[in-house]
Amino acid sequence: MNVEKRVTELVEEKIADRPDLFLVDVQMHGSGILSILVDGDNGVAISDCVAISRHVGFHLEEENAIEQAYRLEVSSPGIDTPLKSFRQFQKNINRSLKIKLKSGNVKEGKLMQVEESSVTIQESVKEKGKKAAIIETLIPFEDISEAIVLVSFK
């Protein structure tokens, strides 16, 4: 049995009545840590993480799904965790992103729009001897290797 697939099913089952919550990632690490990342359009409460943990833990024990000792961790993605899902991009419209492209180039700008296959950012481009120009750049999801929200402490 694929543990990650089963855990995904269990989480989806638990949050089915909560359209504001969505699963980001499930990973069974070699170290015995089973990590579940859940996000929400308005954030995730600790009580949500606890409820998901109890639901998943109960069913995994009942089904004896994992033979070795493991530690279950349910949390929301940290501020430095790369965006993985379409909903995470949508949630971060109007925030600044640092996007690493598969080509090796890096783009930074304000996330303006998220579409099915691409994102549009507004970036400031400075050419030598000229004022910086604000341009909108469309980036296909398939060209993105990593996207991280930039946090401003201004």
Q: With bands split at pLDDT 50, 70 and 90, how would you rate the model's confidence at 125?
A: confident
Find the helix or strand (DSSP H, E) in which 54 lies. helix 46-63
- 41 backbone φψ class: left, alpha, beta (φ>0; ψ -120 to 50): alpha
- Supply the CATH number for residue 137's domain: 2.30.30.100
Residue with tokens 């998901």: 52
The per-residue pLDDT for 1 is 62
Residue 81 placed within a domain: no
Q: What is the pLDDT of residues 77-90, one digit of tens each?
A: 988 899 988 999 99
| 8-state DSSP, 49 | H
What mean pLDDT do residues 49-74 have?
93
Q: 10 Å Cβ neighbour count for 70?
A: 17
**Do residues 67 and 116 share a domain?**
no
Residues 71, 92, single domain; the answer is no
- Do residue 94 and residue 55 come from a single domain? no
Question: Of the residues 52, 75, 98, which one is the last residue of a structural domain?
Answer: 75
**Does the residue 9 lie in any domain?**
yes
Let me know how long the chain is: 154
Name the more confident of 153 and 136: 136
How many distinct structural domains can be found in the chain? 2
Last residue of a domain, one of 44, 75, 106: 75
For 139, the token pair is 């980036």
132 within some domain: yes
52 and 114 together in one domain: no
pLDDT grade, residue 137 (50/70/90)?
A: very high
DSSP-derived pairing of the beta strands 118-125 and 133-140: antiparallel
The string of pLDDT tens digits covering residues 4-29 is: 999 999 999 999 999 999 999 999 99
- Residue ranges making up the domain that contains 65: 3-75
